[in-house]
Amino acid sequence: MPTTELSSLSSSNSAAHTAADRRLQSRDTPAEAVRAQLVTALEPPSGECGWRNRECSRRIIGVSYPIWFVADLNCVDLCVQWTTTVDLTTALRAFIRTVERGSVTAAARDLGVSQPAITKHLRNLEREVGARLIERSARAVRPTSLGQTFYEATRTGLMTIDAALECVRRDMREVEGLLRVHAPTCIGAKHLHPIVLEFQRKHPSVSVDLVLEDRTVDLVYDNFDIGVKYGRPEGKDIVIRRLGAIRRILVASPDFLAKVGPIESIDRLNEVRVTTTAAVASAQRTLTLTHRDGAVIDAKVKEVLRTNNPQVITNTLLGGHAAGPVQQLLVLEELAAGKLVRILPEYEVKSNDVFWAYPSVRFMRPAVRAFTDFVIPMLRATEGVVVDASHHE
């Protein structure tokens, strides 16, 4: 579908508008008949839809007379008459978010309104369109076939409206609003969080919802503006930028080494207690290690604790309970203070690429762009993030 462009109809057609308004308000004339009269009065160019991507010159939403919103859906005109009870953009946002989330409750939460308000918007929208757009059941909410077509069309139109508004704000150099950011706990708590605070000192009108957890989320479905992800994100609706590779090293506490003795070979590593995560240790309890000369070796280890929590790993290592692999960026202070020391420094554990991601279906708001430009260089400069120059974007 072509990008929607909002434009006014010429004032020379005011008589046609006035007549149409009277007919629509009285409801004595079918909408299709009014549409035909308006099309005739406006004399659109031959072979071209004169209503495509247009609306009434009196285009303020929520006034006391009807407003027309028209979109081209595969060369079929869809004309929707709006009255004072319907706010076009609010109703469309409610509909679009409900489709994306598959839940009225989730849509209400994302938009910061009540569930009855979303239901009312959907009901008004369906009444004014004259078609059922949403199928509701005890288990799910999903669009009808007409609803899916309407969603694809109106999402693009609403994005264009948002883009126009954001262009104005960008030109005014306004960086404001809410940013929802998702990141893994390990890099988020120690490194992203301080960067967020520094960004807010520079842009005090920006509020940030920083969600740190070690689960995979759908940025669109879960309503996030930005995500930091370990491993290459999948999905056609995601734009990604590689930040670098997360370096993992082998460490132990001085107390642990005092108890078990020095660890100076792979065979010696096989004999000591090790804490790991599923991200680095296989089900067969082996670690894939890379020597500085490029040689790769799978080392069998005596795994005594496996966890997905980075703080548990750090505490286990600091407590002298075990040795093990850890993300370098998690223990920079502990290494500097001598609370942890590297073992087998000629080896590193397999690394993961880390990516910056955001939904491509959204217009990049000034706050998102400013945050992206601010954070990416700082994360890439973090010790423990290895940046290959060939991957810079």
Contact 155, 2 (CB under 8 A): no
| pLDDT for res 197 | 97
The string of pLDDT tens digits covering residues 19-28 is: 444 444 443 4
- CATH 3.40.190.290 residue ranges of the chain are 177-393
Query: To which residue do tokens 């056609």 refer?
Result: 236
The string of pLDDT tens digits covering residues 361-379 is: 556 778 888 999 999 999 9
Q: Using DSSP, how many helices (H) and how many strands (E) does the chain show?
A: 13, 16
Question: How far apart, in whole angstroms, are the C-alpha atoms of residue 331 and residue 2?
Answer: 51
- Per-residue pLDDT averaged across 132-142, rounded? 80
CATH code given to domain 177-393: 3.40.190.290
Contact 54, 13 (CB under 8 A): no
Q: pLDDT-derived band of residue 246, with 50, 70 and 90 as boundaries?
A: very high
- Which of 4-8, 11-15, 112-116, 380-384 is least confident? 4-8
Level-2 CATH architecture, domain 88-171? Orthogonal Bundle (1.10)
Residue 72 in tokens: 């081209």
Q: Which phi and psi (to 5°) does residue 150 adopt?
A: -65, -40
Question: How far apart, in whole angstroms, are the C-alpha atoms of residue 208 and residue 178?
Answer: 6
